[in-house]
Structure 1
Amino acid sequence: MQKKSILKKIFIYTVSAILLCILYVAMHLGYNFFSDNIHTVIPNKIYRSAQLNKKNLTELTEKYHIKSMINLRGTWPTNHWYEVEKKFAKINHIEYYPIQFSAYKLPKKQEIRILVHILQIAPKPLVFHCEGGADRTGMAAAISLILFKKNATIAEIEKEASWHYNAVSRFTVGYQVMRNYFAWLKKNNLPQSKENFLTWLNSDEKMQPYEGWFFV
């Protein structure tokens, strides 16, 4: 009887722990969703978000003194959100850079090089966004850490393109790009650094799309 009682307690504690973990993740994802997934990538320099309406754009701009905006959804002149955002940037003297990426399709290296160039030349502080602030935004955030944070670790970079910011699939563009870069580092026995990232980006090494489990 005592053994059964112990096993029962272990089972209850295990199930409770699993349910608490699920609840935590659900609450975290929900918070990101309802808060427009606004987060700091590098303090006073780079911020990330989901697609914002005019009111939230105003609040973000005033709070962080935004000087540049990178729209990772591209140019959509027939869509209301694009016209609102473009007009807002013009009125508030914010540099506006629309560049189109897919949330799941692996981009060409040339497209990433354009993003890197914009990240380097755009006046700071800047904010970038896609639709939900998770997939394409995760890629831009991971690249930003590599470019602007000294000694950024692989764990820190991976986090920017992970479930922490609602990118729950391994097919997201951020996960796929970083996976290719980290694989190249491992193959060449190199540490993570801005210089090595740019070497990889400008190399002839072809990126391979991810094939595997859906969830991170």
Structure 2
Amino acid sequence: MRWAQACHRVLWRRRGWPARLGLLGVASLLGLGFYLGGLQVTGNFHTVIPQELYRSAQPSPAQITAYAASYGIRSIVNLRGANPGRDWYEAERTAAQLLGIQHVDFAMSAKRPLDDARAAQLIALLRAVPKPVLIHCQAGSDRTGLASALYLAAVAGQGEEAAEGQLSVLYGHVGLPMLGPYAMDETFERMEPALGFPDS
């Protein structure tokens, strides 16, 4: 207890504002780390549009079963692409088949922008698959965020703010230009005029 009080005096009384800001910065980073870790532990599952579109990280067979029972999932779009022979992929396909869920693979990278042709293919796929649909990537934050944003904008006809909200730290997406996943933000920004959103 005395040691903690001594640290408090050094940081908050003797060092002044720089030490306080440094401590707050470290605490903020730790808090963000715990939050992002918690998203992965819980599967990063979220409702985008009830009875229509859901998003998640890589689901286990048990999670697929639970999502199907709770939300009536009729199709899964795997944004990691086909990975025959990989345990996660075979388990996902088997679970979907056993539950009568349509399973579709769409390969994309979280670190490379999606070109216009591929974005159009993804929008057409999301429009066509049986609903409710679950879309996922590995972490459920970047590729899934872009796919959710495109769905809201191009299929559901929702506004720019709602669509862009899917690319958010709330889902684990950190859209900073120096990070690879910023490619998802770049893709959406580039497509805004085609989606009916004027340049701002």
RMSD of Structure 2 on Structure 1 (CA): 2.7
Q: How does 1:1-216 map to 2 (within 5 A)?
A: 14=21, 17-154=24-161, 156-168=162-174, 169-170=176-177, 171-172=180-181, 173-182=183-192, 185=193, 196-197=194-195
> Could you tell me whether the CA contact under 8 Å between 2:76 and 2:104 is conserved in 1?
yes
Q: Which amino acid aligns with 1:197?
A: L
Counting matched residue pairs gives: 183
Per the TM alignment, residue 53 of structure 1 is displaced from its structure 2 partner at its CA by 1.3
1:112-135 CA-partner distances (Å, limit 9, x unpaired):
111111111111111011111122
Sequence identity, in percent?
27
Per the TM alignment, residue 16 of structure 1 is displaced from its structure 2 partner at its CA by 5.8
> Could you tell me whether the CA contact under 8 Å between 2:57 and 2:140 is conserved in 1?
yes
> Could you tell me whether the CA contact under 8 Å between 1:162 and 1:175 is conserved in 2?
no
In the superposition, relative to structure 1, how do residues 151 and 100 fare at CA in structure 2: closer, same or farther (>3 Å)?
closer
Structure 2 unpaired stretches of 5+: 1-11
Q: Which amino acid aligns with 1:158?
A: E
Q: Which amino acid aligns with 2:109?
A: S
Query: Matched residue of 2:119: which SS?
Result: helix
> Could you tell me whether the CA contact under 8 Å between 2:114 and 2:184 is conserved in 1?
no
C-alpha separation between the residues in 2 aligned to 1:64 and 1:74?
A: 24
1:164-214 CA-partner distances (Å, limit 9, x unpaired):
2222254324212112124xx4xxxxxxxxxx41799xxxxxxxxxxxxxx
In the superposition, relative to structure 1, how do residues 108 and 88 fare at CA in structure 2: closer, same or farther (>3 Å)?
same
In the superposition, relative to structure 1, how do residues 149 and 116 fare at CA in structure 2: closer, same or farther (>3 Å)?
closer
Per the TM alignment, residue 140 of structure 1 is displaced from its structure 2 partner at its CA by 0.6
C-alpha separation between the residues in 2 aligned to 1:34 and 1:164?
A: 15
> Could you tell me whether the CA contact under 8 Å between 2:61 and 2:92 is conserved in 1?
yes
